[in-house]
Structure 1
Amino acid sequence: MNVPDLKNVILPKLLSGVRDGLPLDAIGATDCLQALALTGQALRFDRPRHPEQFQVEESVVDHRAILPDAARKLVLRLLSGKNPASGPLAAAIVRTLAERKFRLHPFDLPKLEPFVKAHAESLGAEALAFSQRETPVAQKQNYFAPEQLNDDNWMHASPAVKAGYIRTRRASDPDAARAMVEAVWTSESADSRLRLLEAFREALSEKDALFLKGLEKDRAPRVRELAQRLLVRLPGFDGDDPNLRAALERIKLSKAGLIFKRTALTLELPATVRDFTKMAWLNETFGPVGLEPLAEALSLPVDDMVAAAEKQSDLLAAFLFMATRDRRLDVVRTITDRHLRDSWEAFSQFDAQMLADYSPDMRQLWVEHIFRPDRWAADTSPWTIRQTAQWLDGQATEDLFSAIVQSKPWHSLRKDNGRYEADILDSMAVMSPSSMRSTLRAELAALEPAKSGNAVLFLDLMDSLETAHA
Structure 2
Amino acid sequence: MAEAIYDAMGSVLTRWTMGSAAAPAAAVWSAELGAEPAEAELRLLALSGQFLGVAVTAEPPPELRVLPDIPALALPTVPEALRPLAHRILNAFKETQRKTELLDFLAARGWTTHPAEWMPTADDEDAPDVYAPWRDWAGIAASNSVVRRQAGDRLTADNWEDFWPAARKVALTELRRRDPEAARAVLEAKLASENADVRLPLLSLLATGLSEADAPFLEGLAANDRAPKVKALAASLLAQLGRGPAVGDDIAELAGFFSVKMKGLLRRSRVIQFENVKTPAQMHRRAALLESADIASLARALTLTPQELVDAWNWDVDRQADAALVGLVARTGTDSLVAQTAEAASQCNASVFLATLTPRLVPGQRSELAEKVLRTRGFSFDVAKTIAGGTARLENPMTAPAGTALLAALRRDDAKPSDELTELFALGLIASRAAARQALERLNGAGLLQGDPRLDMLRLNAALDDNGAEP
TM-score, reference length from structure 2: 0.69
Go from structure 1 to structure 2 and tell me whether the alpha carbon gap of 1:172 and 1:242 turns closer, same or farther (over 3 Å shift). Answer: farther
Helix, strand or coil at the partner of 1:393: helix
In the alignment, which of 166, 178, 187 is matched to residue 181 of structure 1? Answer: 187
Question: What CA RMSD, in Å, does the superposition of the two structures yield over aligned residues?
Answer: 5.3
String of CA shifts for 1:439-463, please: whole Å, max 9, x gaps. 3113322556489933422222223
Alignment of 1:142-221 (within 5 A): 150-151=155-156, 152=159, 156-157=163-164, 165-215=171-221, 216-221=223-228
2:368 paired with 1:359:
no
Give CA-to-partner distance per residue, 1:146-200, whole Å, 9 cap, x none. x9874446984556x7556544433432221112223332343433322222222
The offset of 1:214, in angstroms, is 2.6
Specify whether residues 453 and 157 from structure 1 end up closer, same or farther in structure 2 by C-alpha distance, changes over 3 A only. farther
- Change in Cα spacing, 1:33 to 1:430, as seen in structure 2 (3 Å) is same
Indicate if the aligned counterparts of 1:254 and 1:265 stay in contact, CA closer than 8 A.
yes
- In 1, distance between residues paired with 2:150 and 2:126? 9
When structure 1 is superposed on structure 2, of 427-436 and 387-396 the one drifting more is: 387-396
The residue type paired with residue 67 of structure 2 is E
Output the CA distance in 2 between the equivalents of 1:154 and 1:244. 44
**Which of the numbers 332, 335, 347 marks the counterpart of 2:344?**
335
> Where does residue 389 of structure 1 map in the other structure?
385
Decide whether the 8 Å contact of 1:395 with 1:431 is kept in 2: yes
Q: Report deviation, 1:466.
A: 0.4
Cross-structure match for 2:300: 296
Amino acid of the residue matched to residue 70 of structure 1? A
Match of 1:375 in 2: 377
- Aligned pair count reads 438
1:60 aligned partner: 70
Q: Residue 404 and residue 29 in structure 1: after superposition, are their counterparts in 2 closer, same or farther (change >3 A)?
A: closer
Mapped contact 1:332–1:366 kept (Cα < 8 A): no
Q: How far off its partner does 1:213 sit?
A: 2.8
Query: Per-residue deviation at 1:393?
Result: 0.5
Q: Deviations over 1:241-300 (max 9, x none)?
A: 78755642432345678999975533244733799x99xx85x75467554443233222
Asked if the contact 1:170–1:177 (Cα under 8 Å) also holds between the matched residues in 2, the reply is: yes
Match in the other structure for 2:461: 462
The answer for the alignment partner of 2:19 in structure 1 is none
Distance 2:434 2:13 in 1: 76
Alpha carbons of 1:465 and 1:150: their partners in 2 closer, same or farther (altered >3 Å)?
Answer: farther
Structure 1 residues 119, 430: closer, same or farther in 2, change over 3 A?
A: farther
Cα 1:113–1:410 shift into 2, 3 Å: same
Query: Equivalent residues in 2 for 1:95-110 (5 A)?
Result: 95-105=104-114, 108-109=116-117
- Kindly tell me: are residues 143 and 465 of structure 1, through their superposed partners in 2, closer, same or farther at Cα, counting changes over 3 Å? farther
Per the alignment, do residues 408 and 287 of structure 1 end up closer, same or farther by CA in structure 2, a change over 3 Å counting?
farther
Alignment of 1:39-118 (within 5 A): 40=48, 45-48=54-57, 55-63=65-73, 64-80=75-91, 90-105=99-114, 108-109=116-117
Distance 2:83 2:262 in 1: 66
CA 1:88–1:437 in structure 2 vs 1: closer, same or farther (change >3 Å)? Answer: farther
Structure 2 SS opposite 1:65: coil
Structure-2 separation of matches of 1:291 and 1:398: 33
Query: What's the % identity of the aligned pairs?
Result: 19
Give the whole-Å Cα distance in 1 for the aligned partners of 2:315 and 2:25: 108
Instruction: Report the residue type matching 1:75 in the other structure.
Output: A
2 CA distance for matches of 1:15 and 1:407? 70
2:177–2:208: 8 Å Cα contact kept in structure 1?
A: yes
Question: Matches of 1:248 and 1:141 in 2, distance apart?
Answer: 56
1:272 to 265, 280, 290: 280
Structure 2, unpaired ranges of 5+: 16-23
Secondary structure of the 1:252 match is strand
C-alpha offsets along residues 366-392 of structure 1, whole Å, 9 cap, x if unaligned? 4456x253233xxxxx7x431221121
Identify which range, 395-404 or 453-462, moves more after superposition.
395-404
* 2:20 counterpart residue number: none
Deviations 1:411-451 (A, max 9, x none): 65456552853101211121111232233113322556489
**Residue 424 of structure 1 pairs with residue 423 of structure 2:** yes
- What does the per-residue CA deviation read over 1:51-84, in whole Å, with 9 as the maximum and x for residues that have no partner? 695622222231553432321232244345xx66
Contact 2:260–2:273 (Cα < 8 Å) also in 1 = yes
Residues in 2 aligned to 1:185 and 1:177: alpha-carbon distance in whole angstroms: 11
Offset at 1:206? 3.7
- Match of 1:356, SS state, is helix
**Letter of the aligned partner of 2:76 in structure 1?**
A
Normalized against structure 1, the TM-score is what?
0.69
Match of 1:48, as an amino acid?
A: T
For 2:424 and 2:401, locate their aligned partners in 1 and report how far apart those are by CA, in whole Å. Answer: 11
CA distance in 2, matches of 1:16, 1:438: 65
Q: Match for 1:61: what amino acid?
A: P
Structure 2: which amino acid aligns with 1:203? G
Aligned partners of 1:306 and 1:316 also within 8 Å: no
Given that 1:67 and 1:102 are in contact with CA atoms closer than 8 Å, whether structure 2 keeps it comes out as yes
